[in-house]
Amino acid sequence: MSEDTTVSKNSSADAALRANLAEIRARVDAACSRAGRSVEDVTLVAVSKTHSVEAIRALYDAGQRVFGESYVQEWQEKRELLEGAGCGDVEWHFIGHLQSNKAKYLADEVALIHSVDRKSVLKRLQKRSREPVDVLLQVNVGNQSTKGGVASNAVIDLIKTAREFADIRVCGLMCIPPYVSNPEDNRGHFRQMRQTFERAREWLGAQEDGDEASANFRHLSMGMSGDFEVAIEEGATHVRVGTALFGARDYDN
């Protein structure tokens, strides 16, 4: 790229990011191998919130295409800059807490919204959509007061609510388990999520449109920098990795 572009390059920083990406991909491959799964079944979501457009571009140039953002305005600004720099094929996922009044900006604009947990958000997405909106329903698997999501035993009720909206396509579940220093401490939470996912998919399969509904319900987003390998072993289809790719940020969700 020329020096006057809005997305500049830093060769030293870029090399470090490429090395991080290669390491994470190798760890994803190894976790899939241990679990007897295909690496094609797991999507690495590079969590780019608070990180620069230049850093995103470095990972993009290394082949990463799926990025996760948590703040609507920040995502809008990054998308505009990256599209202007020729990176129009980025697949954006929204992974943060979604306020009802911000939902309208995401309908039809991102590939997947990971964090839907209430009717008001579904209603806003439905109102602004022109085509089906793919969402994951957030489960508060650790019963943490600081986290969003519904309890595991309320997932079916939330699915029923989502199915009231014709343009909402429920594609699976998502969770943010408690922070732990030992990733094995979250294995039970990930296993519980997998069981909740399987019960929900079975329920969907028993409905009148069961074949289509259960086929769409195929994603399980769980696992972050500190525990994504355990999450893959327990059935994650999407892992959300930020710090291990980009380095430490000032704060984490």
Cα–Cα distances (Å) from 88 to 110, 156, 194, 222, in that order, read 12, 36, 34, 27
| Side chain identity at residue 156, one-letter code | I
136: nearest Cα among 110, 127, 153, 145: 110
Residue ranges of the domains in the chain? 11-246
Instruction: Give the three-state DSSP class for 220.
Output: strand
Nearest to 68 by CA among 83, 53, 48: 48
- Please write the tens of the pLDDT for every residue from 93-132: 999 999 999 999 999 999 999 999 999 999 999 999 989 9
| Cα distances (Å, whole numbers) of residue 247 to 25, 133, 185 | 16, 32, 23
- At residue 59, φ and ψ (nearest 5 deg) are -70, -35
The structure's pTM equals 0.93
> Tens of pLDDT along 134-181?
999 999 999 988 889 999 999 999 999 999 999 999 999 999 999 999
Each residue's pLDDT tens digit, 237-248: 999 999 999 998
Give the class (CATH, top level) of 11-246: alpha beta
